[in-house]
Chains A and B, each alone.
Chain A
Amino acid sequence: MTQRLVLFLAALVAISPIFGVWLTELLGYHEPLDIAVELINEAADYTLLKDLSEEWRWTPFADYKVPGLPDWAGYIVSGFIGLITFFILYVIIKELYAKRTS
Chain B
Amino acid sequence: MFANFDFDVIRRSLGYLFLDGMTFTLMLTGLAGLGGLIFGTLIALMRLSGLRLLGRIAGLYVDLIRSLPLVLVIFWFYFLVPYIGQWLTGASRPVRVGAFVSSLITFIMFEAAYFSEIMRAGIQSISKGQPAAAQALGLTYSQTMRYVVLPQAFRNMLPVLLTQTIVLFQDTSLVYVVSIPDFLGAASEVAHRDGRLVEMYLFAAAVYFVISCAASFGVRRLQTHLAFVH
A complexed with B? no
